[in-house]
């Protein structure tokens, strides 16, 4: 089975590297071609265009930044849907709206190929450690066929959300909402603790050993304690001045006062 991978960013690269370890032939494409070179050095074949990548692959993974980028590489004469072979599978790993998944699945259907939504829970280091959680939705038979390839991406677990293709995207957005809510409340709590004169490190240590002993609280809590806001790579597209204002809000714990 020939595999294609498009989108060699922070998370795409380690996933493509995992696939390369167990795939006869991995085709890669990236808008910025230099990002594909390290994979080519490990044996992947760089394609000159999206159309070439699609036409050579049985299964194409895409991991691009947003809905517009995914639509750009999928639609049109030079896109994945028009160039993927009959019964080929497009596995979209991006965090996008469910409506985008539904419309792209329809487009693939018209071309006799398949679209599978596969949202990723896990950071680049989890991909390298093969401890990703994959949330999938779409045609059940197709999912069954490509399951070994999904496992080769570096999945520790695959969570199936049913045949409605946007379901995995809903689950991913609900998960992200919970992550960001936890980050905001931790930032408030850390600031409240410090303003009230107690050791916030000690508080978070206790909480992440007890009530909140979970990866989200440990990982992001630790970054918040160190005020290492930029190391977590949880990017939002926003104007720089807005991002800075948001960072200031977290830093200053706006809204919380000391307990007296």
Pairing outcome for strands 25-29 and 2-6: parallel
In the bound state with a second copy, the residue whose beta carbon lies nearer, of 180 and 251, is 180
Instruction: Pick the binder of a second copy from 25, 103, 133, 145 (CB under 8 A).
Output: 133
In the bound state with a second copy, the residue whose beta carbon lies nearer, of 159 and 229, is 159
Verify binding: residue 116, a second copy, rule CB under 8 A.
no
- Count CA atoms closer than 13 A to 42's CA, side-chain side: 18
Per CB under 8 A, the segment of 6-14, 199-207, 235-243, 245-253 that binds a second copy is 199-207
Write out the two tokens for 251: 């830093």
Query: What is the DSSP-derived secondary structure letter of residue 185?
Result: H
Verify binding: residue 46, a second copy, rule CB under 8 A.
no
Verify binding: residue 173, a second copy, rule CB under 8 A.
yes
Which residues lie closer than 8 Å to 156 by C-beta, 6 or more apart?
130, 131, 132, 133
As a whole number of angstroms, the distance between CA 201 and CA 204 comes to: 5
In the bound state with a second copy, the residue whose beta carbon lies nearer, of 81 and 101, is 101
User: What is the distance of C-alpha 94 from the center of its chain?
Assistant: 6
Other residues' Cβ atoms within 10 Å of the Cβ of residue 62:
25
Instruction: Find the shortest distance in angstroms from Cβ 131 to a second copy.
Output: 10
Instruction: Find the shortest distance in angstroms from Cβ 186 to a second copy.
Output: 7
* Cβ-count burial 107-117 (b if 16+ within 10 Å, e if not): bbeebebbbbb
Verify binding: residue 247, a second copy, rule CB under 8 A.
no
As a whole number of angstroms, the distance between CA 114 and CA 161 comes to: 17
Verify binding: residue 260, a second copy, rule CB under 8 A.
yes
Per CB under 8 A, the segment of 19-27, 33-41, 143-151, 190-198 that binds a second copy is 190-198
As a whole number of angstroms, the distance between CA 186 and CA 224 comes to: 8
In the bound state with a second copy, the residue whose beta carbon lies nearer, of 43 and 246, is 246
Report the site for a second copy in 209-228 (rule: CB under 8 A): 209-217
Active site residues: 172
x/- track of binding to a second copy for residues 51-90 (CB under 8 A): ----------------------------------------
Verify binding: residue 11, a second copy, rule CB under 8 A.
no
In the bound state with a second copy, the residue whose beta carbon lies nearer, of 40 and 251, is 251
Judge contact between 92 and 153, C-beta under 8 A. no
Instruction: Find the shortest distance in angstroms from Cβ 24 to a second copy.
Output: 31
Helical H segments across the chain, by residue range: 12-22, 37-41, 50-56, 67-74, 80-83, 98-110, 124-128, 140-152, 167-195, 200-209, 215-225, 240-252
Chain residues binding a second copy by CB under 8 A are 97-99, 121, 133, 135, 157, 159, 161-162, 164, 166-167, 169-171, 173-175, 177-179, 181-182, 184-186, 188-189, 192-193, 196-199, 202-203, 206-207, 209-217, 259-260
């Amino acid at each position: 089975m020939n595999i294609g991978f498009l989108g060699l960013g922070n998370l795409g690269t380690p996933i493509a590297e995992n696939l390369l370890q167990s795939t006869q032939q991995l085709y890669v494409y990236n808008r910025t071609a230099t990002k594909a070179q390290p994979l080519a050095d490990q044996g992947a074949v760089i394609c000159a265009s999206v159309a070439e990548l699609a036409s050579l692959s049985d299964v194409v993974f895409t991991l691009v930044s947003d809905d517009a980028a995914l639509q750009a590489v999928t639609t049109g004469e030079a896109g994945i849907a028009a160039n993927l072979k009959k019964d080929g599978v497009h596995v979209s790993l991006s965090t996008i709206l469910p409506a985008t998944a539904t419309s792209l699945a329809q487009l693939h259907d018209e071309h006799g190929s398949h679209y599978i939504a596969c949202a990723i829970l896990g950071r680049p280091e989890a991909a390298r450690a093969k401890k990703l959680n994959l949330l999938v939705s779409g045609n059940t038979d197709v999912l069954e066929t490509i399951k070994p390839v999904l496992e080769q991406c570096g999945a520790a677990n695959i969570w199936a959300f049913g045949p409605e293709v946007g379901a995995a995207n809903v689950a991913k957005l609900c998960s992200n909402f919970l992550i960001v809510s936890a980050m905001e409340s931790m930032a408030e709590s850390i600031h409240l603790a410090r303003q009230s004169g107690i050791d916030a490190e000690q508080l978070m240590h206790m909480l992440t050993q007890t009530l909140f002993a979970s990866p989200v609280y440990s990982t992001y809590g630790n970054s918040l304690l160190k005020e290492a806001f930029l190391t977590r790579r949880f990017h939002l597209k926003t104007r720089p001045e807005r991002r800075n204002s948001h960072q200031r809000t977290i830093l200053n714990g706006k809204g919380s006062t000391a307990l007296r």
